[in-house]
Amino acid sequence: MAMLKAENAAELAQQLETEPIRDVIDTVERTSAAKAAVLFRLLSKERAATVFDALDPRHQAELIGAFQDSEVLEFFEELEPDDRVSLIDELPAPIAERLMRSLDAEGKRVTTLILGYPRGSVGRLMSPKTLLIRDTLTVAEVSELVRSTSKDAETIYTLPIVDADRRVVGVVSLRKLFLADPAANISSIMKKPVMAHVMDDAEDTARWFVQLDLVAIPVVDESDMLVGMLTFDDAHDIVAEAEAEDAARGGGAEPLLRPYLSTPVRKLVRSRIVWLLVLALSAILTVQVLEVFEATLEKAVVLALFIPLLTGTGGNTGNQAATTVTRALALGDVRKSDVFRVLGRELRVGLLLGMLLGSLGFILGAFVYGWSVGGVIGLTLLAICTMAASVGGVMPIIAKAVGADPAVFSNPFISTFCDATGLIIYFLIAKAILGI
């Protein structure tokens, strides 16, 4: 892509119009907000709207600060209602209010409808722009309705069928509609709907939705009345964002949720510093344990040589269990009520891992430092692996039960906990076997 200079603006504008749209989006995502705003001004109106819509809400919010008022309003009006709401959530209140006032009556109505649902709910991410198709219509009448009003709906590939009270009674795919007998009643070709409740958790709903071979599902209220549609692409975005968040927090950082190269350095620092401080403070536990058993170390200095091995093994074992269970929770394979089943399985897994690693540690330790030291190492590995796997397995479930993010209790905190607890186990076993 050519450099952003005034003298080659015409050349760059021409290049932007001929580049594949995916490449243009990629360029904007990897560019700072100020330079991206210049790129937008060189794009045609249609291409600019497409690129803006493809960006995540946080990136859109940063770009708005670099746009002129007329450009902001133009982009905002082109967004779908659910995308508008995602952008509003990222904007300062005065700017969000000004943008809302710019909408026409219908645009304001549907956007306000979505804003009325709590964050994290399906209602906040659905599209209220859907067709209302009565179950008394014929296939021909529905086909004509779709042709004449499809521009008012976000998706027409899955059509919700409602009764006189607007309750969803079925769904019909566009393919099935076009292949059906025009004279047939629409209720004769509809199938039982898979629906989401408007107040359901968006991430939980999105995870089971993306596993189904469906394009969209109806969203209903407590009376099964149609309020909107949740599309596959929106569900996929929800899952992708959740996965990015879990991966970041599992590594001890906050998610960027936007391209790395276009993220300001200060935001990179902010995403990491809080976790580093928390982990540094929690690591004091390990230091205090070493201080308590300082006399034990002085009597058997050889014990210090194995501390990195034992703490590393405990942390890794706990992280493996936590990561596995966190993933199972996300996929719905494990529920909060399965905590004791998970504990039992991880106890057995940890015990078997401890026996294997402990046997190896016992043989190597005994060969180099004597049978007593080998016994300390072997028994410690057995105990640490059993403890770490059990704790790592149940902590994500406990986090889920108290409303916390299970990923938060993955790598960082599990490692710190296993380090401190493992050292206590190590020194207690050493004191018992070595008599120090």
- CATH code, domain carrying 160: 3.10.580.10
Q: Does the residue 251 lie in any domain?
A: no
In a domain, 275, yes or no: no
Give domain status of residue 248, yes or no: no
**What is the structure's pLDDT at 359?**
94
In angstroms, the CA 361 to CA 378 distance is 5
331 and 301 within one domain: yes
**Residue 103 sits in the same domain as residue 153:** no
Q: Do residue 138 and residue 108 come from a single domain?
A: no
How far apart CA 58 and CA 173 sit, in angstroms, is 34
Domain boundary among 209, 239, 269: 239
Number of Cβ within a 10 Å radius of residue 382: 23
Give the separation between CA 395 and CA 181, rounded to whole angstroms.
56
- Do 195 and 165 lie in a common domain? yes
Residues 113 and 139 in one domain: no
Q: Is 262 domain-assigned?
A: no
396 and 295 both lie in a single domain: yes
Same domain for 288 and 428, yes or no, is yes
* Largest interatomic CA distance in the chain: 93
- The reported pTM is 0.63
Helix axes 411-434, 265-282, angle to 10 degrees: 20
Phi/psi class of residue 435: alpha, beta or left (left: φ > 0; alpha: ψ in -120 to 50)? left
Give ∠ CA 191-194-197 in degrees, rounded to 5. 140
Q: Kindly state whether residue 271 falls inside one of the protein's structural domains.
A: no
Is residue 176 included in any domain, yes or no?
yes
Whether residue 224 lies inside any domain: the answer is: yes
Instruction: Say if 1 falls within a structural domain.
Output: no
Do 154 and 75 fall within a single domain?
no
Tell me the pLDDT of the chain (436 aa) as tens digits. 444 444 456 677 777 778 888 888 888 877 777 777 777 777 787 888 788 888 877 777 777 766 765 666 666 777 778 888 887 777 777 777 777 877 778 778 888 888 888 888 999 889 888 888 999 999 999 999 988 887 778 788 899 999 999 999 999 999 999 999 999 999 999 999 999 999 999 988 998 898 888 899 999 999 899 999 999 988 988 888 877 777 766 666 666 666 666 677 777 777 677 767 766 776 777 777 777 777 776 667 788 888 888 888 988 898 889 888 888 887 778 888 889 999 999 999 999 999 999 999 999 888 888 898 899 999 999 999 999 999 989 988 988 888 777 766 666 677 778 888 888 899 899 888 887 7
What's the one-letter identity of residue 126? Answer: M
On whether both 114 and 141 belong to a single domain, the answer is: no
Last residue of a domain, one of 66, 92, 119: 119
Cα 27 from Cα 390, distance rounded (Å): 46
62 lies in which domain range? 6-119
Quick one: three-class SS letters along the chain?
Answer: CCCCCHHHHHHHHHHHHHCCHHHHHHHHHCCCHHHHHHHHHHCCHHHHHHHHHHCCHHHHHHHHCCCCHHHHHHHHHHCCHHHHHHHHHHCCHHHHHHHHHHCCHHHHHHHHHHHCCCCCEHHHHCECCCCCEECCCEHHHHHHHHHHHHHHCCCCCEEEEECCCCEEEEEEEHHHHHHCCCCCEHHHCCECCCCEECCCEHHHHHHHHHCCCCCEEEEECCCCEEEEEEEHHHHHHHHHHHHHHHHHHHCCCCCCCCCCCCCCHHHHHHHHHHHHHHHHHHCHHHHHHHHHCHHHHHHCHHHHHHHHHHHHHHHHHHHHHHHHHHHHHHHCCCCHHHHHHHHHHHHHHHHHHHHHHHHHHHHHHHHHHCHHHHHHHHHHHHHHHHHHHHHHHHHHHHHHHCCCCHHHHCHHHHHHHHHHHHHHHHHHHHHHHHCC
Distance CA 329, CA 242 (A): 12
216 and 344 fall within a common domain: no
Last residue within a domain, chosen from 119, 144, 179: 119
Q: Strand order in 216-220's β-sheet?
A: 196-197, 216-220, 226-231
**Number of structural domains the chain divides into:** 3
Q: Which two tokens stand for residue 97?
A: 């209010």
What's the pLDDT score for residue 180? 92
Same domain, 26 and 145: no
> Which residue type, as a one-letter code, is found at position 332?
G
Q: By C-alpha distance, which of 215, 219, 223, 214 is closest to 202?
A: 219
* Phi (first) and psi of residue 216, to 5 degrees: -160, 160
CATH code where residue 391 lies: 1.10.357.20
pLDDT on residue 1: 46
What is the CATH classification number for the domain harbouring 113?
Answer: 1.25.60.10
Q: Are residues 222 and 306 in the same domain?
A: no
